[in-house]
């Protein structure tokens, strides 16, 4: 019924509890989850979790804010993307949090390495025909600008993908949608101080929306502050249902169908 489009089940705090989490998912009718890779060093564990369980899938990528890790080449990403159950390239993107050209320390201008890393991931997505999983935090329209620079325009040759755990403005959401991307919402949507984000969620078309936990982070109300896991994704769906005056089942059906269209249609077409 529900699909968690973004979680980190290979991280130690969740990997150690995987049998209990899978049981909780089944009870909550969360039938599938996409396990996200954040470093090449982590990829074997992410891939093992996905290949070991029929309801789980994997990605390959290096998070934009990870420093001191193996820098991915185009070949690194393309090679791993060809493995079974790897559906997407990412998590990738830009993270400028705390870097607003402040005095002292690093500034946005110092983060060209993030932009170069993002460009490599975009190339890999276009080479493999797999969608991008994009992380953007305090980066405004820069991710959209780099996608356009790389030729992403929503046409048949575009890789497409999803802006995950969306927290940017409605203007950024509009620009992402114009490029053919999906928008995914996390437990942040349930937070008391997230009205601006709820306004964005009310605007995004249902046929371009995904839901996620980003677990072990960002547990939704009523579990805020606790360790998150995919069995909590129905709380995100409930918030969307309430915002839009829809039955919970309709949100589950729509977001799961969107997951199929974005991540699984390309797999089927390549078979």
Q: Using DSSP, how many helices (H) and how many strands (E) does the chain show?
A: 11, 8
d(CA 3, CA 9): 14
Q: Per residue of the chain (271 residues), what is the pLDDT tens digit?
A: 999 999 999 999 999 999 999 999 999 999 999 999 999 999 999 999 999 999 999 999 999 999 999 999 999 999 999 999 999 999 999 998 876 554 445 676 778 899 999 999 999 999 999 999 999 998 989 999 999 999 999 888 899 999 999 999 999 999 999 999 999 999 999 999 999 999 999 999 999 999 999 999 999 999 999 999 999 999 999 999 999 999 999 999 999 999 999 999 865 444 3
CB 197 within 8 A of CB 247: no
From 76, 108, 114, 107, select the one nearest 93 (Cα to Cα): 114
In the prediction, which pLDDT does 123 show?
Answer: 97
Q: What is the DSSP string of 196-257?
A: HHHHHHHHS-GGGEEE---BTS-PPTTSTTSPP-GGGHHHHHHHHHHHHT--HHHHHHHHHH
Burial of 89 by CB count in 10 Å (0-12 exposed, 13-18 middle, 19+ buried)?
buried
d(CA 112, CA 66): 14
In the prediction, which pLDDT does 197 show?
Answer: 98
């Amino acid at each position: 019924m529900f699909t968690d489009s973004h979680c980190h089940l290979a991280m130690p705090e969740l990997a150690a509890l995987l049998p209990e989490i899978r049981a909780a998912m089944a009870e909550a009718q969360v039938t599938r989850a996409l396990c996200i890779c954040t470093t090449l060093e982590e990829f074997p564990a992410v891939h093992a979790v996905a290949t070991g369980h029929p309801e789980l899938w994997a990605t390959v990528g290096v998070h934009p804010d990870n420093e001191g890790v193996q820098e991915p080449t185009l070949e690194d990403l393309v090679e791993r993307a060809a493995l079974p159950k790897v559906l997407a390239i990412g998590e990738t993107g830009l993270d400028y949090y705390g870097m607003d050209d402040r005095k002292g320390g690093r500034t946005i201008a110092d983060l060209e390495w993030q932009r170069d890393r993002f460009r490599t991931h975009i190339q890999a997505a276009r080479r493999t025909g797999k969608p991008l999983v994009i992380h953007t935090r305090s980066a405004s329209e820069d991710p959209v600008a780099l996608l356009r620079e790389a030729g992403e325009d929503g046409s048949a040759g575009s890789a497409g993908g999803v802006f995950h755990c969306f927290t940017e403005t409605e203007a950024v959401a509009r620009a992402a949608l114009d490029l053919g991307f999906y928008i995914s919402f996390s437990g942040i949507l349930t937070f008391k101080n997230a009205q601006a984000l709820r306004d964005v969620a009310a605007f995004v078309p249902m046929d371009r929306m995904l839901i996620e936990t980003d677990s072990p982070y960002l547990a939704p109300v009523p579990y805020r502050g606790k360790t998150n896991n995919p069995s909590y994704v129905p709380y995100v769906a409930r918030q969307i249902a309430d915002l839009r005056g829809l039955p919970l089942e309709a949100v589950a059906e729509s977001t799961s169908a969107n997951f199929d269209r974005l991540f699984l249609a390309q797999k089927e077409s390549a078979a």
